[in-house]
Amino acid sequence: MLAGVIASAELAELAGRHAERELRWRVADLGRLAGLAGGPGNGELAARFRFLPAAAGLARVVVDIEGGLVLTCQRCMGPLDWPVAVSAEFCIVASDDDAAVLPEPMDAVALGPAGLELAELVEDEVLAALPLAPMHAADGGCTAGRTAAEPDGVNRPFVGLAMLLKNDADDAGKGR
């Protein structure tokens, strides 16, 4: 299991003393994000959590997430550096049902079986902030225009590979 699960008993204590925690995760270890941003250039996400008391004896958490992802540009299919800077605040409730009875409107996050799962919370927030179709800015190095002009150009890396494999197979056939 990834670091950063806080048991419900500990939450009240952290909130009571306005505690802060800083945690980092490798993007590769965050399964859902790694699937979207699986490139080798992906590094870490750093998150700072502040725990505070909330109404009705509950705790709330304020989180600031920073880092960078390498997404795939949906125009040229090339790598796209995507800076992450996400902030969010939640009231922590025991279950989704409890969110309905919060005294004030506030985003709620429900505890998992082991407690508050910080990695999951961070992943949820970053996923929600990602664009549906990430693309390079017009002047951001998008190679889509160039690809259209040369259909057999640099953006089809597997064409060459397929030909190499075919040649190898032909050579092997001749050798026998």
Which stretches of the chain bind Zn ion, using CB under 5 A? 73, 75-76, 136, 142
Residue whose structure tokens are 């992943």: 123
H or E element that contains 149: helix 144-149
Q: Give me the phi and psi of 8, to 5 degrees please.
A: -65, -35
**Measured from the CB atom, is 66 or 74 closer to Zn ion?**
74
Min CB(53)–Zn ion separation in Å? 46
Query: Judged by CB, which is closer to Zn ion: 64, or 72?
Result: 72
Q: Which is nearer to Zn ion, 60 or 136 (CB)?
A: 136
126 neighbors 68 (Cβ within 8 angstroms): no
Q: Which is nearer to Zn ion, 18 or 146 (CB)?
A: 146
Comparing CB distances to Zn ion, the nearer of 40 and 113 is: 40
Least separation in angstroms between CB 161 and Zn ion: 22
Length of the chain: 176
Ramachandran class of 56: left when φ > 0, alpha when ψ lies in -120 to 50, beta otherwise: left
Least distance from C-beta 74 to Zn ion, angstroms? 8
| Closest approach of Zn ion to the CB of residue 154, in Å | 13
Handedness of CA 117, 51, 11, 60 (dihedral sign): negative
CA atoms within a 13 Å half-sphere pointing along the CA-CB vector of 174: 6
Residue with tokens 């279950």: 95
Identify whether the C-beta of residue 67 lies closer than 8 Å to the C-beta of residue 100.
no
CB of 147 to Zn ion, least distance (A): 9
